[in-house]
Amino acid sequence: SSQPDTRHEIAGERTARDAYWMPFTANRQFKDNPRLLVGAEGMHYTTADGRSILDGQAGLWCVNAGHGREPIIEAVQRQIAEMDFAPSFNMGHPLPFEFANRLVALSPGDLDHVFFTNSGSESVDTALKIALAYHRVRGEGHRMRLIGREKGYHGVNFGGTSVGGLVNNRKYFGLLLGGVDHLSHTLDIGRNAFTCGLPEHGAELADELERLVALHGDTIAAVIVEPVAGSAGVILPPKGYLQRLREICDAHGILLIFDEVITGFGRLGAPFAAQYFDVLPDIMTTAKGLTNGSIPMGAVFVRRHVYDAFMQGAEANIELFHGYTYSGHPVAAAAGLATLDVYAEEGLLTRGAELADYWAEKLHALRDLPYVRDIRNLGLIGGIDLEPRPGEAGRRGYELHCACFEKGALVRYTGDIVAMSPPLIVTREQIDELVDILAQGLRELR
Ligand code: PLP
């Protein structure tokens, strides 16, 4: 096989790494100092130079059952051999039907219809389009506005970018969607630093939605939030905040969308954040853990009243003019079904609840180490917020990430925040090891 030679080349000369324009990466910095992963099993990656790295971020918040799971591998192999692809429009094959049935059995309330996509970004844009069309088909087409939140991350397509609230993700890309407004984010280190679990202060920030209703009247279609924001650096909802959003949406005929791309599939110790918080959104976006990260796929869950609003008129009519060539892809659906089996057999969708206290206690033991200005946790999510080095914002986060990688653990950095989201199979010993590596890395920061 030519593979080992190619790998060697990619790991060697920088020029061999030039053609690939890497996503969300400092390309030149990375290509000078590549951190290449070539294998994975269970809780560990293997690097190009043969080191074993503890995966502290479940790939990218997606490999919830750990790496290299045999049932998923076999299901993918079987399906791709049996049928690689079937047209998704006006044709079908059994797997996405079966997968949707299995998914709605897990989802809260009457979120019992599923639209398949290929990523979190596509799930978000699909959800926003469904929300707009929902009002339109009900004769409330004047509801055209979408409300997001500062520091929100909803992927990178135009809809998700527009409702998102991370300045660098927005400012390069023109005017984005019109008619979008934003709530304030809920990060308040001044009042909530080092809170274990949900912050006490800030539920009143949900009342901003009332202010936006006062401004925009009945033109708001939907509000989208991450129940827990990951990409912006682990931002938690203050106690009562999500409940309040739900109440205000109900009072004003606004759809509530939870973006559960990272919180879905067990991250908080319940299958979905909607269950963890006991707040039922009208639409829920997912991806990542849906297939354990193995094959790209996303799923948008909608409640019965949303689906039913479309199922009117002549039965020969297409109800929603939206979909992807790969919606419900057979190989992805096979991967997803096998993933749900693994989650069920090993109790992974609730395992986080058993480990959450241990995880919290260990993480918070880092609070007195250099430059740590906040530690945030919920379920099996953790974030360490570092004091930025004057004039070099973001460097400490990057340096801590690199130090951990050198010492054998992969953790994510966003600016000066380092985020952890280990696979849900993590053991207590592996939590100790991860926190130990973080502590060593923190002690070396300057
Ligand atoms: N929404 C949220 C909350 C996310 O965290 C992400 C990715 O991290 C996305 C959407 C986008 O998902 P994808 O990268 O699969 O498009």
Over residues 42-53, the pLDDT tens digits come to: 999 999 999 999
pLDDT of residue 6: 74
Q: What is the DSSP letter of 289?
A: G
Could you state, in order of their start, the residue ranges of all structural domains in the chain? 35-56+347-444, 72-346
| C-alpha to C-alpha distances, 391 to 140, 232, 396, 418, nearest whole angstrom | 50, 20, 11, 19
Listed residue (431, 395, 430) closest to 413, CA to CA: 395
Q: Across residues 15-30, what is the average pLDDT?
A: 94
The answer to whether 330 and 83 are in contact (CB under 8 A) is yes
Q: In what order do the strands lie in the sheet with 417-420?
A: 372-378, 381-386, 417-420, 412-414
Q: Across residues 235-241, what is the average pLDDT?
A: 98
Phi–psi pair at 116, nearest 5 degrees: -90, 140
Phi–psi pair at 183, nearest 5 degrees: -80, 165
User: Which fold is adopted by the domain 72-346?
Assistant: Aspartate Aminotransferase; domain 2 (3.40.640)
Instruction: Kindly give the distance from the C-alpha atom of residue 76 to the centroid of ligand 1, in angstroms, as a whole number.
Output: 23
The answer to whether 101 and 75 are in contact (CB under 8 A) is no
Instruction: Kindly give the distance from the C-alpha atom of residue 1 to the centroid of ligand 1, in angstroms, as a whole number.
Output: 35
Considering only CA atoms, which residue is closest to atom 12 of ligand 1?
Answer: 120
The answer to whether 223 and 249 are in contact (CB under 8 A) is yes
Listed residue (269, 226, 252) closest to 380, CA to CA: 269
Listed residue (229, 184, 239) closest to 208, CA to CA: 184
Whether the pLDDT of residue 1 is over 50: the answer is no
Helical H runs in 87-200?
A: 94-106, 120-137, 158-163, 167-170, 189-192
Q: How confident is the model at residue 4 (pLDDT cuts 50, 70, 90)?
A: low
Report the helix count and the strand count for the chain, using DSSP H and E.
17, 15
How confident is the model over 373-396, as pLDDT tens digits? Answer: 999 999 999 999 999 999 999 999
How confident is the model over 46-88, as pLDDT tens digits? Answer: 999 999 999 999 999 999 999 999 999 999 999 999 999 999 9
Q: Across residues 405-418, what is the average pLDDT?
A: 97
Q: How confident is the model at residue 409 (pLDDT cuts 50, 70, 90)?
A: very high
Among 25, 261, 290, 381, which is best to mutate for testing ligand 1, by the most ligand atoms less than 8 A from CB? 261
Q: Across residues 96-125, what is the average pLDDT?
A: 98
Among 24, 63, 288, which is best to mutate for testing ligand 1, by the most ligand atoms less than 8 A from CB? 288
How confident is the model over 288-302, as pLDDT tens digits? Answer: 999 999 999 999 999
Instruction: Kindly give the distance from the C-alpha atom of residue 94 to the centroid of ligand 1, in angstroms, as a whole number.
Output: 27
How confident is the model over 223-233, as pLDDT tens digits? Answer: 999 999 998 99
Task: With H, G, I as helix, E, B as strand and everything else as coil, classify residue 358.
Answer: helix
Average predicted confidence (pLDDT) for the chain: 97
The second-level CATH assignment, the architecture, of 35-56+347-444 is Alpha-Beta Complex (3.90)
Among 61, 153, 290, which is best to mutate for testing ligand 1, by the most ligand atoms less than 8 A from CB? 153
| C-alpha to C-alpha distances, 400 to 5, 40, 439, nearest whole angstrom | 32, 22, 10
Residues framing ligand 1 (Cβ under 6 A): 119-121, 124, 153-155, 226, 230-231, 259, 261-262, 287
Q: What ipTM does this complex have?
A: 0.99
Whether the pLDDT of residue 5 is over 70: the answer is no
Whether the pLDDT of residue 14 is over 90: the answer is no
Ligand 1 atom with the shortest distance to the CA of 287: 15
Q: How confident is the model at residue 178 (pLDDT cuts 50, 70, 90)?
A: very high
| C-alpha to C-alpha distances, 201 to 193, 195, 228, 419, nearest whole angstrom | 10, 10, 15, 22
Task: With H, G, I as helix, E, B as strand and everything else as coil, classify residue 148.
Answer: strand
Q: What is d(CA 354, CA 437) in angstroms, rounded to the nearest whole number?
A: 23
Whether the pLDDT of residue 3 is over 70: the answer is no
Q: Which residues partner with 147 through β-bridges?
A: 181, 223
**Residue labelled with tokens 């639409």:** 283
Q: What is d(CA 253, CA 400) in angstroms, rounded to the nearest whole number?
A: 45
Among 57, 166, 262, 267, which is best to mutate for testing ligand 1, by the most ligand atoms less than 8 A from CB? 262
Q: Across residues 325-337, what is the average pLDDT?
A: 98
| C-alpha to C-alpha distances, 202 to 16, 164, 175, 189, nearest whole angstrom | 50, 20, 30, 11
Listed residue (251, 247, 225) closest to 236, CA to CA: 225
Ligand 1 atom with the shortest distance to the CA of 231: 5
The answer to whether 379 and 363 are in contact (CB under 8 A) is no
Whether the pLDDT of residue 429 is over 80: the answer is yes
Question: Where does 253-319 show beta strands of DSSP type E?
Answer: 255-259, 283-286, 298-302
Q: Across residues 197-214, what is the average pLDDT?
A: 98
| DSSP notation for 372-438 | EEEEEEETTEEEEEEPPBTTBTTHHHHHHHHHHHHHTEE-EEETTEEEE---TT--HHHHHHHHHHH
pLDDT of residue 401: 97
Whether the pLDDT of residue 279 is over 50: the answer is yes
Q: How confident is the model at residue 7 (pLDDT cuts 50, 70, 90)?
A: confident
Considering only CA atoms, which residue is closest to atom 6 of ligand 1?
Answer: 155
Number of residues that make up the chain: 446
Q: What tokens appear for 432 in the block?
A: 């100790």
Q: What tokens appear for 217 in the block?
A: 């009247």
Cβ partners under 8 Å of residue 94, min gap 6: none
Cβ partners under 8 Å of residue 223, min gap 6: 146, 147, 148, 183, 209, 245, 249, 254, 255, 256, 257
pLDDT of residue 53: 98
